[in-house]
Structure 1
């Protein structure tokens, strides 16, 4: 479930993304060629806060660093002015040549393309970049202060000649919410390029020499975000580093809140399902690498699918990828009736909208995934030899609910433990809603009590599979799965 701050941000993004009161300057896409195995892949940013997931070595950090080099810093600003050489230098081990970075940048309703390239020794095009306040936080931010070289001298310098920058009340509140703890005060004591974070909790003051790495990095991040100019670009590598799951969820909630309040654009990298599940599907990007080392950019993936692609501790022989949890359960029920022996050999995973399933199918048919896969779209999508479809001709909710007779609904009512009349009334009211995805939720609401939409859908799918679709049709439909397992 997405963070509680996501709906407001989504509403603002949908209504005012190009307007002056929205995100008039936005990095829409980055295309990378000739750098660290990249061969022209383009990554699009379709939401104010985007998380890029992928296994180690998939190129997440390269994408973030390329994005950080998209702009020059405005004059008279605290933001750093990054150059491509800051992130992709020539070293005794790497000779960086033949690189092209292409940026798609939106300015109001106008879209421009900016190219920065390094054909041989020099980067060209960097001075022509647009200006924008940008901030890049890499993984070094979580290194404990007492592990840094010269930390004692740092402390002394800050005490003797530093300045104090207290976090304001909203900033302290954001820090408290993100970490799930209550802080009285927070501040940064600075001296030139050195800083020490200081927190006060329950009247006890302690510096980042005695803070956990999560507290230290979170304080620095919140302080940066609260001071960053409106409409800045903020890039954070491995955003979940040193944070427990509750703090990860809290951080995303606050990032979405700040993105709305200050119209920030935030690009993250992550390996964490807790980060991904807090974001709308529009905000999730997965970099998948096949066995030949080719990268594919997938948008709108589910957190479960992204985690599966980053974890090799799996024992199933076949991945079945579908659109959503409704399709997932229906496929399971059909297989249970038509080919029950396959269930212990397959993993059924919802991955996102139909276009994501279709994009994944184009890779699966070339046998470039880590193991065999079969993709299934809803029945309202076009047919293709690259993927299968659910039975019928409509979305699964329409196909099943509209096909059940009153007799079938009596069986559904028995499974739900409710009178048939109440269930039929709930169905009739649900069908008045135009959005079929909301039908089972509305039925559950009408039935009241502890009834859950998932329970309603499972009862409907069970009855439809057995009494309407039937065993013979289930066996025919399951044959594609059986063949894939062969």
Structure 2
């Protein structure tokens, strides 16, 4: 997720988090507990942000979580996510899902409880609730020419029963997601009931063309946005593999659009994904990982999941709190020497709690292929435990604060080297010193200091600044590098 900067302001994220925590919704799914469903037993997923991503490997349970959420409302048939094939699916017997739901049309005093059970070869849902639910499956990116429902339109004699221009709000949102204008696009009604529609567009030369000639991603974005904008306020929107057919930039913009929908329309969105780009705009509490019969809240990205589930060869996994800690550990391993770097996978987890939990779960898994350790920030000293393979980074503060503090101690002597590492010249070292000292004095949040210094130095990327400071720290304080690396002892794979 790197240095991606979302166009959704932090105040919007905070406001939506507070709205959920205060229960300020007419209809909202607060939590579900998978008592017994597929590979899950007594696992709870909370929806602490109105846009929730479920990430995980194939077969890890992403669609199970999505389907379980849908089952809370009667507008979704159970077979949509949990098909039953007679006696051949006997394993479904006694499946059970429990819910905590806000529905102020039934209760204004707080959430209500509901249960869905599979008994005697059928689903039983007690007092299933009303709520509009829009489901977008993976089939949305199947080309129009391959869809049976569009067959009637694939003839030279076809003429739409009705042609309706896309509303301005739809064209505006789609244009932003796709990065191109779509003025002049229409929705073509194929059947009298209006349940089957095809889209048409126009070239810059005003030549009309149908959805049969759209890109699969383009068509799916237009269809999703059109349906979401027409959905009732407070609806639930479920999307399978949101990145299907989309460029990484479009994937991020789609998630940002959905955050805007949550704010404007009070909708609740849940989507599954294999893409880190889809996770980038979301806060940590909006992300759940499903894998190996377990669920974990936090920014457990796709790379980390591949390591945990054995899809990436490794001899040691290291879980740290965030991206800067990941850079710090990687820098130390590289500078120290003698470590088989390709066999070590370092992953930022979006906080101390996710890092500790994933490390613990990984190490108690009897099928694991390698060991993992957790390295927390220096200000987490009370949670260090060598028996649980939990270690600390140097210092007694955040790693950003520690590194900037150490560099300040020797700034006069390291300024020239720092300037070169910042892609500047030796003659600009006085400028570098002035910027660093000023920012160190005025900065309130050390987590963003690299971006601030970069902005002051002719808009250098924050990652370049962080890398320059870490390289200088490692060179100037080799004893701290040794303390960090040697503390892992024989757990580190060594080069022969």
Smaller-chain TM-score bracket: 0.7 to 0.9
Gaps of 5+ in 1: 73-80
Q: Which residue of the partner structure matches residue 171 of structure 1?
A: 170
SS at match of 1:365: helix
Deviations 1:34-61 (A, max 9, x none): 3222222222222221221111111111
Deviations 1:105-128 (A, max 9, x none): 2357823322121233343333x1
Separation in 1 of the partners of 2:57 and 2:454? 39
**One of 273, 287, 301 as aligned partner of 1:270:** 273
Q: Which residue of the partner structure matches residue 458 of structure 1?
A: 467
Separation in 2 of the partners of 1:299 and 1:205? 46
> In the TM superposition, what are the counterparts of 1:148-227 in structure 2 within 5 Å?
148-149=147-148, 151-153=150-152, 162-190=161-189, 191=191, 192=193, 193-202=195-204, 203-227=206-230
Q: Which residue of the partner structure matches residue 320 of structure 2?
A: 322
Range that drifts further, 53-62 or 334-343: 334-343
* Distance of aligned partners of 1:484 and 1:466 in 2 relative to their CA distance in 1, 3 Å threshold: same
> In the TM superposition, what are the counterparts of 1:334-345 in structure 2 within 5 Å?
334-345=332-343
Deviations 1:244-303 (A, max 9, x none): 3343233223222222221211111111222222433333222122xxxx3342422245
* Distance of aligned partners of 1:309 and 1:266 in 2 relative to their CA distance in 1, 3 Å threshold: farther
SS at match of 1:427: helix
Gaps of 5+ in 2: 420-425
**1:380–1:393: 8 Å Cα contact kept in structure 2?**
yes
**One of 89, 92, 108 as aligned partner of 1:94:** 89
> Are 1:441 and 2:439 an aligned pair?
no
Separation in 2 of the partners of 1:185 and 1:295? 47
* Distance of aligned partners of 1:236 and 1:6 in 2 relative to their CA distance in 1, 3 Å threshold: farther
SS at match of 2:116: strand
**2:35–2:41: 8 Å Cα contact kept in structure 1?**
yes
* Distance of aligned partners of 1:479 and 1:142 in 2 relative to their CA distance in 1, 3 Å threshold: same
Q: Which residue of the partner structure matches residue 130 of structure 2?
A: 131
Could you say what the CA RMSD is over the residues aligned between the two structures, in angstroms? 3.0
* Distance of aligned partners of 1:183 and 1:453 in 2 relative to their CA distance in 1, 3 Å threshold: closer
Separation in 2 of the partners of 1:161 and 1:341? 66
Range that drifts further, 101-110 or 232-241: 101-110
Separation in 2 of the partners of 1:139 and 1:477? 45
SS at match of 1:62: helix
> TM-score under structure 1 normalisation?
0.85
**1:412–1:463: 8 Å Cα contact kept in structure 2?**
no
Residue 478 (structure 1) shift:
1.8
Residue 362 (structure 1) shift:
0.8
Deviations 1:59-85 (A, max 9, x none): 11121111112123xxxxxxxx11334
**1:234–1:264: 8 Å Cα contact kept in structure 2?**
yes
Residue 13 (structure 1) shift:
0.8
* Distance of aligned partners of 1:403 and 1:86 in 2 relative to their CA distance in 1, 3 Å threshold: closer
Q: Which residue of the partner structure matches residue 78 of structure 1?
A: none
Q: Which residue of the partner structure matches residue 118 of structure 1?
A: 118
**1:271–1:307: 8 Å Cα contact kept in structure 2?**
no
**One of 413, 417, 429 as aligned partner of 1:419:** 429
SS at match of 1:124: strand
User: Which consecutive aligned stretches of 4+ in structure 1 deviate over 6 angstroms post-superposition?
Assistant: none
Residue 86 (structure 1) shift:
4.2
Residue 389 (structure 1) shift:
1.3
**1:30–1:44: 8 Å Cα contact kept in structure 2?**
yes
